[in-house]
Every structure is written in structure tokens, then in C-alpha cells.
Amino acid sequence: MRNHPIPALSFAHASKDLPAGVVVFLVALPLCLGIALASGAPLFAGVLGGIVGGIVVTLFSGSELSVSGPAAGLASIVAAAITSLGSFPAFLAAVVIAGVLQIIVAAVRAGSLGSFIPHSVIKGMLAAIGLTIILKQLPHAVGYDRQGFMDDEVAFAGSEWINIFLDPVRALQSDILQPGAVLITCVCLAIMLAWELPRVQQLPWMRTIPGALVSVLIGTTMNSLFSMFVPHWQLTGAAGHLVSLPVFSSIADIGNQLVFPDMHAFGRMDVWIVGITITAIASIESVLSVEAVDKMDPRKRISNVNRELFAQGIGNALSGLIGGIPVTSVIVRSSANVYAGGVTRLSSLVHGILLLLAVILIPLLLNMIPLACLTSVLLIVGYKLSSFKILRSMWKEGLPQFIPFIVTLVAIVATDILVGVGIGLIVSVFYVVRSYHRRSITLVHDEINWLLRFNKDMTFIQNLMLKDCLVEIPDGAHLIIDGTTALYIDHDIYETISDFTELAKHRNITVTYHNYFDKHGRA
């Protein structure tokens, strides 16, 4: 890690990063609580994970726009691990182990593998997340809360994937729609859309204050006014329509909520297995998220992925030590950061500091925010990730780019991020092999004179095509094999040509070579 010193925080863009940090905080707060609930961990553990991800990981991060915190993709793994290990302190030991292992992964520079993911797959992943956000937010936009709010961050549905499409229909048919939620959502959406109009953006003060923050303030005020003028429209916490942050009576009360790892668990093999599992999944999700954020970055900066994994390792080790759940770089919060106008890591740091202050100072005030406000923010983020403009641009790039993109999109919505990306990679590899296979060999002839030219390096992949070309050579022909442009020729290729040369003796075919070397290096 010596060649990559920790980048210094810059306050040059504080006017943009501070309000962006507030927006990310508003999005992250209910998600931290919901993910902890879904994981079977204490709610405070989710907030601790968010604080560590926002402050500690940001200080060491190799990405300017990535935001870290508890990840919904790990929720099922965390829940199963807590049950199998027998206690939450034993699980915390596994989180510490995962953090240390991530530091080792960064030290051997394994994070660079993320650079081999095609941009069509990354674009498909972003579009899938955006589409899923929209579909999952529509029920919340009208006050239909069959799902927990934490599900809004999950870009997959597993065996119940069909519910992603059915829930919006159920919401519209439901007799428990909340007029207050509908009105708040519409007003917040109108504010954020108006905020992006060119004439509005020309006003200096409008560029420094994000529309998402204004919409949350106005939406919260509207809900308070409902209690005075139209009580049956008011959204309440008892019905699950408001942010739900734990309320502590004193600093000592906060300290009493801290849970520490079981030191004896570090010697258990099952704890190490869980730690290795968390390492693998958290590292992959972080790499994917950082690669995706780089694609969204208006300045097109390239993040240091190994530095990011190093930061994630420090964050997970510390989170486990103080009782927090695992953290990763998270695409939804990172996307909110980008579209809120964040420029540097300061915005992520602000979000982490606000999480810390919120726990201590203003939990009651934050618990007044309707989830419909946050729904409108995520609807805008989801649309920007999966707009028709992106679909159209990928179509214009041709089928070799569009097919992996659309397959990745569908696969992620139907399964999960890791499986979907894996399927997208397989499709991308197919098109790469197909393209490489088609253009690797040229065969031309003039009467009895034939030329077989290798246009690029030859591997076993081209062996079948080579055999098909050699079959076309007629008896009595003169064949020239030209390997000028092939810097590498695989053993299988040499064997095929060697076999053909032996056969040529019996078919009166003469074979000459131009810049071609056999497997022994002989011309």
C-alpha cells in the first residue's frame, strides 16, 4: 500500500459536498435501521455500521464519491450467521476477522480484478438497481407498506422476484392508500424536478442547496400540518410511515448499547468460515459498487480499488470491535451522493458525522420525517439510473454491448447482484470469444495458391476455425501460412498445423511458412 498514500480531504467544494452529505444521510438513516432489523441484529448495530462506514471508511477510501455502510446484500448472510454461531458477540468476532482479511486482500492487490468487468455489465447492474428501486418505491409512495423500507435498497428479490412487479399493482388496488403519502410524494417529486430546470439552476443559491433537502423539509412540514387540518391524512410512526431512530436518554445509555466481540470465538473454525464468507461477498460488492460509481462520476475519475478494499477492511474490523454489522461500498447511497451534487469524499464524511450526531442530539426530530419524502428522493435516483436515455444509448452501441447489458439487468432483478453480474459476464465473454474467433484467421486463394494468415494471437479457441479453413485446401495446392501478426501461438494450434503438414504429403500439398514458429521455436 506504500505507493498509494491516503488522499487528503479537500474542502474546496464544501458548498456542494455539505448539502449532498445531508441528502445521503437522509437516505442512509432508515436503511441502516432496516438492514439491522432484517439481519436479526440490534437496531443500534445498523447505525454503528453506518457511522463507521461514513467516517472511518471515508478517511481511508480510494474513491471520492463512494459511500459505505450496512449493505442489504449481506442481510440474509448476517441473519443466518448470528443464528448458526449462537450469539451476536460471536458474530462480531467474524466481522473483525473479515476486516483483517480484507486488508490482506488489498495488500495483494486483488481488487484490481474489478477492472475486468465490461462496461455493459456495469451499466446493466446500475439500470437493474434503478428499475428495482422505482418498482419497490411505488408502493411506499402511496402509503402501502407491505415491505420494510430496507427492501428499497435491495436490487434483487430472490424467489419472490415477481413481487417486485406485483406490489405496485397491489398498492393501486389497495383500500389502505394514504392520501397524505400520495400528496407528499407528488409535492417532493415536483420540487426536485423543478430544481433541475435550467432557469432554476441559474440562481446561485439554488445550486448550493439540493432540491432533495428542500423536499424533505417541506414534506415533513406538510405532515405536521396534516395533524392540525386533516388528521386522517397524517402519517404516523405507529403505522410504519415515519423514520424510526432509537431514542437514548443519555450518553451513558448509548454506551450501554455497545456490544463487543466474544474473544473466545476467534478460535472457532465456524467463526472463521463466516468471516471468510463475509470477506468474499463484501469485497465483491464493494468492487462492483466502486466501478459503477466511477461510471457515474461526472469528472470520470478512476478510484483506487485496492485502497478502497483497505478502507473497507479497517471499517469492518472497527465495526465488529464496537458492535456494528458489516459494511461495504453501497451503490444506492453512492448514487444519491452523485445525483445530489457531491464532488469529493467530504460529502460521505458529512453523512457519517450526521448519523453520529443524530443518534446523540436529534432522534425525536428525525423521527418526524415521513418515509414518503425519502421515497421521492429514491424515485429520482432510480430514474436516473435506468432512464430510457441509457437504454437507447446502449442499443446504439450494437448487440455485442446491448445483449450483455439487458441480460445483466433482467438477471439481477430476478436473482441478485452477484448472480446477475456473473450471468452478464458469461454473455460478455461469449461475444468477446465470438468476435475474436471470427476475425482471427483470413483464408484467400488465387487458383492453386492459398494464403492462411493469422490476424492476431492464436489460442485453442481458434482451433476449430483453423481446422475448418484447412479442410478447404484442395489437393495439389500451394499453402502459405503467415504468422506475422501473431505474437503468441498456442500449443493446440501448432499440433493442428503439424497434423495437417503430415497429411499434406499424401495430398500433394506444399506448405511454406512466413514468420511462423513451431512449438519448439523453430522457423
Cell of 351: 453523512
What pLDDT score does 358 carry?
A: 87
Query: For 177-202, what is each residue's pLDDT tens digit?
Result: 789 999 999 999 999 898 888 887 77
Between CA 352 and CA 348 the distance in angstroms is 6
> Looking at residues 97-101, what average pLDDT do you find?
97
What pLDDT score does 455 carry?
A: 87
DSSP string, 208-258: HS-HHHHHHHHHHHHHHHHHHH-GGG---TTTT-B------SSHHHHHHT-
> Does the reported pTM lie above 0.85?
no
**Residue 25, C-beta contacts closer than 8 angstroms, at least 6 positions apart:** 350, 351, 354, 355, 358
Cα 457 to Cα 67, 112, 453, 469, distances in angstroms? 41, 24, 11, 17
Q: Please give the mean pLDDT across all residues of the chain.
A: 84
> Looking at residues 55-63, what average pLDDT do you find?
94
What pLDDT score does 520 carry?
A: 41
- Whether the per-residue pLDDT at 157 is higher than 50: the answer is no
- Whether the per-residue pLDDT at 319 is higher than 50: the answer is yes
* Position 521 confidence tier, pLDDT thresholds 50, 70, 90: very low
Residue 452: strand pairing partners? 443, 481
Asked if 188 and 217 count as a contact pair (C-beta separation under 8 A), the reply is no
- Whether the per-residue pLDDT at 212 is higher than 90: the answer is no
Highest-confidence segment of 160-164, 224-228, 371-375, 437-441: 224-228
Between CA 238 and CA 244 the distance in angstroms is 10
What pLDDT score does 367 carry?
A: 85
* Position 438 confidence tier, pLDDT thresholds 50, 70, 90: low
The residue type found at 191 is I
Query: For 8-28, what is each residue's pLDDT tens digit?
Result: 676 667 778 888 898 899 888
> Looking at residues 218-236, what average pLDDT do you find?
92
Q: Among 135-149, 411-425, 473-487, whose mean pLDDT is lowest?
A: 135-149
What pLDDT score does 261 carry?
A: 95
- Whether the per-residue pLDDT at 30 is higher than 80: the answer is no
What pLDDT score does 171 carry?
A: 64
Cell of 302: 478512476
What pLDDT score does 165 carry?
A: 64
What pLDDT score does 174 carry?
A: 61
Percentage of the chain modeled with pLDDT above 90: 37
Between CA 314 and CA 325 the distance in angstroms is 13
DSSP string, 451-518: EEEE-S-B-GGGHHHHHHHHHTPPTT-EEEEE-TT-S-B-HHHHHHHHHHHHHHTTTT-EEEEES---
Rg (CA), the chain: 28
- Whether the per-residue pLDDT at 131 is higher than 80: the answer is yes
Query: For 418-429, what is each residue's pLDDT tens digit?
Result: 788 889 999 988
What pLDDT score does 152 carry?
A: 42
- Whether the per-residue pLDDT at 75 is higher than 80: the answer is no
Please tell me which residue, 272 or 151, carries the higher pLDDT value.
Answer: 272
- Whether the per-residue pLDDT at 154 is higher than 60: the answer is no
What pLDDT score does 167 carry?
A: 66
Task: Give the CATH architecture of domain 439-514.
Answer: 2-Layer Sandwich (3.30)
Question: CATH 3.30.750.24 region(s) of the chain?
Answer: 439-514
